[in-house]
Structure 1
Amino acid sequence: MSKHFEIIVGTMLGAAEYVADAIAEKLNERGYTHTIHAEPDLANINKASTWIVCTSTHGAGELPDNIQPFARQLENADLQAVNAYVIGLGDTSYDTFCFGAKEMEKHILNGGGKLINDALYIDVLEHPIPEDAAVEWFDEKLANA
């Protein structure tokens, strides 16, 4: 049975969505199945599957609007079955660089979940096409899994 991934997206302007799509392509190439959640709802996400949380940061360090309800669902959830990768997109010219991703990490860990690797924080100033950096990182993680 192939491994299934739950790709959870937090995006305002679409960059995190592009990253999620590129990660999904890589999973397809390797024969894995996945579900992309553009409007994530904990009730529809399998905690036993591997999660890939891919989110940007918006405004003064907030999560994008589409993932805020999901983040609230995680606050009191039992996430002990969760193993997750976190990919954050941000801009290092802001002192709230990747705060959205860091908030998601905190929710997962507080609920008893585990991060498979340290999160990847992509600086869009350094990587104007963030999906390239994300796929390169994730492909290496998959190869070593």
Structure 2
Amino acid sequence: MDKYYSFGREASLPDGADKREDYRLSARATARLRVESAEPIEFGDESLEASVRTCEVRDLSASGMSLVTMEPLHAGSLLAAEIHLSAQKKSFRLMVEVVWSKKEEGSRHLNGVRVFDSDETDYLNWLEAVAEAFSGSE
């Protein structure tokens, strides 16, 4: 029933309108985002890898999620992400696009990202896992 799907639909979105196409689930999940170049940078004898940020997943659907970070993500950025759902034993490698970002209390930021189908990701497994989570939430 629709009355159980009010969570994850906040009235205070960046532009004031909810443009989500799917229901969202509140989730116990974490995301690891690669926020810089995937190519290692060489500094003398040292090799520095891309910067990885771990953040909280506030809610999710098959097509996107909202992430809580300590710094804003830039709209339009394409990021490699690894999402770990607490109910699953494995993580899902996905590509996400940052759609919006807004400042919350303190130094926290809420960011909306869209998941998209990309080669060499776990996109199909992600869709199955989210469908299974929705069927278990009834």
Q: Determine if the TM-score, normalized by the shorter chain, exceeds 0.5.
A: no
Pick the structure with more helix per residue: 1
Report the TM-score, using the length of structure 2 for normalisation: 0.31
Pick the structure with more strand per residue: 2
